[in-house]
Amino acid sequence: MKRYPLLKMSFTLSLVLIIGLCFIFTSSAFAAPKEVKVGLIYPVSGPLASVGKRCVNGHEYAVKLINEQGGIKSMGGAKIKLIVADSEGKPEIGMSETEKLITRENVAVVMGAWQSAVTFPTTQVAEKYKTPYIVPLAVADAITERGFKYTFRTGMTATINANLAFDIIKWLGEKTGKKAKTVAILNEDSLWGDSTAKTWEKNAGNYGLKVVGKFMYNKAATDLSPTITKMKSLKPDIVLQCAYTTDAILITKQMHEMDFNCMARIPSGGGYADPKFVKAAGKLGENLIVNMIFHPSAKGPGTKVQDTNADYQKSYEGEMDEYVTTAFDATWVLKDALERAASADRKKLRDAISKTNINTNNSPVLEAYDFKFNEKGQVPNPTGVAAQIQNGKMLAIHPDNVAVTKPVYPVPTWKDRGLR
Amino acid sequence: MLQEAVKRHLIWIAIFLILLILPFFIGTYLQHIMIFIFFYAYLSQCWNILSGYTGQFSLGNAAFFGLGAYTSSVLFYYFNLSPWIGMFIGAFVALAIGLFIGYVSFHFGLKEAFFALATLAFAEILRIMFLNMPVMGGAQGILIPLKGDAPLLFQFDGKIPFYYISFIMMVSSTIIVYIIERSKIGYYFKAIHQNEESAEALGVNARKYKIYATGISAFLTAFGGTFYAQYFMYIDPNLTFGPSVSFDIMLRSIIGGVGTLAGPIIGSFILTPLGEITREIFGATSGIHMMAYGAILILVCLFMPRGVYPWFRQRFSKSS
Amino acid sequence: MNWEIFFQALTSGILTGGLFALVAVGLTMILGVLKIINFAHGEFLMLGMYMTYWLCTLFNMDPYLTLIITIPAFFFFGVIIQRWLINPILDAPMEIQILLTLGLFIFLANLAQLLFGPHVRSIETAYTFKILTIGSVNFASTRLIMFIFAIIFTTALYIFLKKTDLGKAIRACSEESYGAMLVGINVKRVYMIAFGIGTACAAAAGSLAMPIYYVNPHIGATFVMTAFVVVVLGGMGNFMGALVGGFIIGLAESFGAVILSASLKQLVTFTIFVLILLLRPTGLFGTKRS
């Protein structure tokens, strides 16, 4: 009999924990009438929290506007209610949180998850439950290549985004008559950087550009000066980059340190699109051209973008960068679909989303392209914005319909700027 | 005596039966949680063989986990080989690497913290290598092709099959450890743990058995890797070889009680729900739930420095 | 590889090695004296960086001047951590010690995130734009300053350990704590001081790195693995070893980035690490094994 109670005890302990769980899950609040529950899944804690938070802000802000303007009119003014779940950046937690959102919170639709590694399994969960899943931003091409019926992506794929960089180079050459011939690629070694760099490497020839070097690094690197020196010896005209905020700051500082000059560095969004980067880089960031998904300086029809951005900054820190905006726009796509479906029924909602046809000019969405989905659930031709830091401010320069200023190109050397 | 044995068995049978029918009474969210409890209990039990019983503290079981995940996934991706077969090949790959790591480490007499850091380094080396191998998908990882409900390809419609697979994995690993514990090799393991010099003096070839322990641990851990790959259908080097995998594996045993049969299972039954509960209570806003999680780990160290299971055992032997 | 790249890689490697050494000096103290694998060491560095950041931003202090505040502050912080958290588990099995420092790591990183937000922060000072050029070799003045401090700190600690009574007591505890107790050394006090010094070193490294790098709540993990490598390379508890080990790893990563690629440079580091562990587990300069 001696060991009997201790086994019981230890088992009881774990049982209590599990029963505790069950209780928490069954006692969730009853849904108030006239409410559409929307689940968000983002990394709001852990190393990626900075981005996760901004995505959530974008959704929250859009929902605030929608609810203030009377909610979903076709549903008797139903309000949208966001339920934020934390993926901690881990697929298994993303998956369990998505399960919870769908089965327990009974959300009509899920949005997320920015990281491709979390988006893959979570969209699978949503597909299984026939719950629409809108991906504002997660770049792996394969997300919309799996034949899923309930997954929709309102934003870029890595391939589309990578090719836009070449459009910018071509446009800069035509505009100023100074054509770039060689490119070097400098990318961080996660899925985004790796797949973007491979697309660049593959397609550069189509644009008459020669890749003279490809450099991959880990974003936790503490010193990149040897790599930059090596790149300097190859004398590329253009450096194409993928970086997160921390390595973007490091590289910018060290390019200055190593006196690395080229016609232009054209990084793809990410860290360079982070308003914190512009602040942290200070003078060193001047004249940098960034290939972005979106920038709030971009001219919209009328002053829509500027007004929204100004209003946003009343309640949130920082401007509407690409993370905030893609989340914001995806929420309006959802709102539009809810109006047409006039129901929070998942199947009806899915059909409504698939028939989305939003003209950017007469809708609150900020990105300058029309939202409609192809049979894969992907917006076929999302466009981006190229912006340049001029006098400490990020300003849109390309494409012409959103540009607010002319490009400074080629970018003056560190010496010409008096920084050396 | 007999009655006691029956009663002891009764409670195990009761638990076993409850867990056996449980998936039909709970939703998929709780099924997922249970799968992860079993999954980590399994991995932690594998870790326990090497680090708990034999006392060779590994911080790098992610190496074996990742090899299992990658081998079966790559074979499935390129050659359409069923992961059911791939997982055995993966286990043998991990076994080979495990024996290699064990041989190299123990041949040169690595011990304690040195061995722990070496295993961590081996896992990191593999992670960086896979990250830079385009054939293995590089940083883009491997997205396992979806085949729908294909049990022969380790793909299922619902979670219930995964529930039973993970449950069987946990139970069988525990049975394996139980058998090892009571066999000659198990006595050698424990002798090495307690005092390597005296074990050698008694004629135990400590180096050989430590290598065996590494091999067994590696072999079994690899199955967990395949399970992970088939459950999530996507793997990349950071998810499978990253240090956090090793930490997640060993935390279960440490919390439950290192070197005990029930430790990894109890640890897993505590830690996985704990993560869920802290997230539930503190919400997904600022990372307070992670702080609470860290604080609880610290408190366990301070107040139950041998793990939860031994702590209870101590309490009860005192009171009864 | 031409000479220009060679000399640049050499210079960058040595300068970065200075930072690695600085982080490792604190860790080698803790690992050498208390025999604790401290995964939370990087978090002390991160908190040191935040302290410097706030002092610079709020009070307009010079980042190097903040050392006067960060070093004593984190010395006491370390003493408190040792007294209340580390001391109770000194005799516990290794896994409990690792669990505790991992718990502390998770706790501190998320505490910082709660207090300071998840964003990246960096400071701009008068030194930021001062670049020194020798021939074709470039380096920021802030790197040189950090490097000089690294040498000063290490040498000072080395002399402290060799010449002072307290230093000798620390060394005695590091080699044979039971014997040290028998000859009348207050081992508990020595442990607290050693942990305090280790923590202060990490924080000082943070202060010195702030003008070059950036801080976010999760930067600690970036440094801690490399620091372990350096510590083992130099021999646990060996300060001069940590300094030389820092240079070796700095150079290995620097040339690894040039010859292989920046993504593979850590492969070089870990390979050296494993080889050292296997062939010379007492470190390059170690004499005997504890």
Residue C6 has pLDDT above 70, yes or no: yes
Put simply, whether A220 touches C (Cβ < 8 Å) is yes
Please state whether beta strands B234-235 and B142-143 pair in parallel, antiparallel, or not at all (unpaired): antiparallel
* Nearest-CA distance B286 → chain C (Å): 6
Cβ pair B295:C103 closer than 8 A: yes
Among candidates B108, B117, B253 on the partner chain, residue whose Cβ is nearest the Cβ of C228: B117
CA dihedral C228, C231, C233, C234 (to 10 degrees): 170
Does residue B284 sit within a domain?
A: no
Q: Is the peptide bond before A399 cis (omega within 30 degrees of 0)?
A: yes
Looking at the predicted structure, is the pLDDT value of residue C233 above 70? yes
| Contact C222/B at CB under 8 A | no
- B5 interface with A at CB cutoff 8 Å: no
B29, B32, B234 ranked by CB distance to A117: nearest: B234
- b/e per residue B94-111 (b: at least 16 CB within 10 A): bbebbbebbbbbbebebb
Predicted confidence (pLDDT) per residue in A210-246, tens digit: 999 999 998 888 889 999 999 999 999 999 999 988 8
Q: Which residue of C has its CA nearest to B58?
A: C95
Number of domains composing chain B: 1
Give the per-residue SS3 of C215-266. Answer: ECCCCHHHHHHHHHHHHHHHCCCCHHHHHHHHHHHHHHHHHHHHHCCCCCHH
pLDDT reported for residue B113: 81
Shortest CA distance from C142: residue in chain A? A257
Contact at CB, B313 and A6, closer than 8 angstroms:
yes
CB pairs under 8 A between A and C: 117
Judged on CB neighbours under 10 Å (0-12, 13-18, 19+), B77 is middle
> CB–CB of B39/B227 below 8 Å?
yes
The shortest C-alpha distance from A375 to chain C (Å) reads 38
Indicate whether B145 belongs to any domain: yes
Contact: A10, B308; criterion CB under 8 Å: yes
| Res C95 pLDDT > 60 | yes
How does pLDDT run across A8-59, given as a tens digit for each residue? 665 566 666 666 665 555 544 444 447 899 999 999 888 888 889 999 999 9
The answer for residues whose C-beta is within 8 angstroms of residue C115's C-beta and 6 or more apart is: none
Helix ranges restricted to H, A80-216: 91-99, 116-128, 158-176, 191-203
Closest by Cα among B40, B47, B46 to B272: B40
- State the pairing for strand pair A35-42/A109-112: parallel
Asked if A419 reaches chain C (Cβ–Cβ under 8 Å), the answer is yes
Measure CB to CB from residue A121 to each of B232, B238, B315 and give the nearest one.
Answer: B232
- Residues of chain A in contact with residue C266, where contact means CB-CB under 8 angstroms, are 218
Chosen for mutation from B1, B25, B29 (greatest number of chain A CBs closer than 10 Å) is B29
Residues of B in contact with C31 (CB under 8 A): 113
141-200 in A: which are within 8 Å (CB) of C? 189
> Residues of C187-201 as b/e, b for ≥16 C-beta within 10 angstroms?
beebbbbbbbbbbbb
- Asked if the C-beta of B138 comes within 8 angstroms of chain A's C-beta atoms, the answer is yes
The nearest alpha carbon in chain B to C280 belongs to B108
pLDDT of res. A29? 42
pLDDT at B284: 64
Per-window interface: C 143-162 vs B, CB < 8 A: none
Instruction: Kindly list the distances between the CA atom of residue C268 and the CA atoms of B124, B129, C232, in Å, as whole numbers in the listed order.
Output: 11, 11, 15
In angstroms, what separates the C-alpha of B186 from chain A's closest C-alpha? 22
Closest CA in chain C for residue A52: C118
What is the chain A residue with the closest CA to C263?
A217
CB contact under 8 A, A225 and C12: yes
Contact assessment for residue B271 and residue B177, using Cβ atoms and an 8 Å cutoff? no
- Whether residue B94 contacts residue B68, with contact meaning beta carbons closer than 8 Å, is answered with yes
Judged by CB atoms closer than 8 Å, whether chains meet at B29 and A104 is answered as yes
Token pair for A61 = 């802000």
Which chains border B (3 or more CB–CB pairs < 8 Å)?
A: A, C
Average predicted confidence (pLDDT) for chain B: 88
φ, ψ (nearest 5 deg) of residue A12:
-60, -40
Q: Which residue is closest to C275 within chain B, CA to CA?
A: B118
pLDDT tier for residue C185 given thresholds of 50, 70 and 90 = confident
Is residue C281 within 8 A of residue C238, CB to CB? The reply is: no
* Nearest-CA distance C134 → chain B (Å): 35
Query: Which one of A44, A86, A114, A223 would you mutate to disrupt binding with C, by most C Cβ within 10 Å of its Cβ?
Result: A223
Q: Does a structural domain hold residue B22?
A: no
Q: Which of C89, C104, C274 sits opposite B122 (nearest CB)?
A: C274
CB contact under 8 A, B108 and C267: no
Asked if B276 and A117 come within 8 Å (Cβ–Cβ), the reply is no
Report DSSP state, residue C73. Answer: H
**Owning domain of residue B164:** 37-241
Angle between helices A116-128 and A191-203 (to 10 degrees): 100
Strands A182-188 and C131-134: unpaired
Of A216, A249, A280, the CB nearest to C261: A216
Q: What is the mean pLDDT of each run of 10 residues along chain A (420 residues)?
A: 52 62 51 77 87 93 93 91 90 89 92 91 91 93 91 92 92 91 92 90 92 90 90 93 90 91 91 87 89 87 86 90 93 94 92 92 87 92 90 89 89 88
B288-303 vs C94-116: helix crossing angle, rounded to 10? 150
- Rounded CA-CA distance B136/A307 in Å is 48
Average pLDDT of the segment spanning B245-256: 89
Contact: A17, B274; criterion CB under 8 Å: yes
Secondary structure of C165-224 in the HEC alphabet?
HHHHHHHHHHHCHHHHHHCCCCHHHHHHHHHHHHHHHHHHHHHHHCCCCCECCCCHHHHH
Residue B233 belongs to some domain of the structure: yes
Alpha-carbon distances of A213 from A77, A173, A220, A237, C93, rounded to whole Å: 57, 21, 21, 11, 50
Closest in C120, C218, C261 to A249, CB measured: C120
Nearest CA in chain B to A117: B234
B210-249 confidence digits (pLDDT tens) = 999 999 999 999 999 999 999 998 999 989 999 889 988 9
| Chain C residue at shortest CA distance from A53 | C118
Please indicate if any CB of chain A lies within 8 Å of the CB of B147.
Answer: no
Average pLDDT, chain C: 88
Interface of A with C in 267-296 (CB under 8 A): 274, 276-277, 280, 282-284
- Please report residues of C whose CB lies closer than 8 A to that of B124: 225, 266, 270
Residues of A in contact with B30 (CB under 8 A): 21-22, 25
Residue C183, judged by CB atoms within 10 A of its CB (0-12, 13-18, 19+), counts as exposed
Whether pLDDT at C284 is above 90? no
Q: Do residues A112 and A122 touch, judged by C-beta distance below 8 A?
A: yes
Q: Is residue B150 part of a domain?
A: yes
Distance CA A26, CA B229 (A): 31
Chain A contact for C267, CB < 8 A?
no
What pLDDT score does B320 carry? 44
A335 vs chain B: nearest CA distance in angstroms? 24
Distance CA A103, CA B248 (A): 27
pLDDT of residue B305: 80
Specify the DSSP element, H or E, that contains A393: strand A393-398
How far off is chain A from C15, nearest CA to CA, in Å? 10
Any domain includes B141? yes
Whether chain B has a CB inside 8 Å of the CB on C174: the answer is no
- Any B CB within 8 A of C53 CB: no
Do the chains contact at B294 and C281, CB–CB below 8 Å? no
Judged against a pLDDT cut of 50, whether residue C90 lies above it is answered with: yes
Q: What is the pLDDT of residue A33?
A: 47
Contact A280 C120 (CB under 8 A): yes
E strand spans, chain B: 142-143, 234-235
How far apart CA C136 and CA A250 sit, in angstroms, is 21
Distance CA A395, CA A403 (A): 8
B287: contact with A, CB 8 A cutoff: yes
**A220 in B contact zone (CB under 8 Å):** no
Domains and CATH numbers, chain A: 35-156+302-362 (3.40.50.2300), 159-292+384-398 (3.40.50.2300)
Residue B263 has pLDDT above 50, yes or no: yes
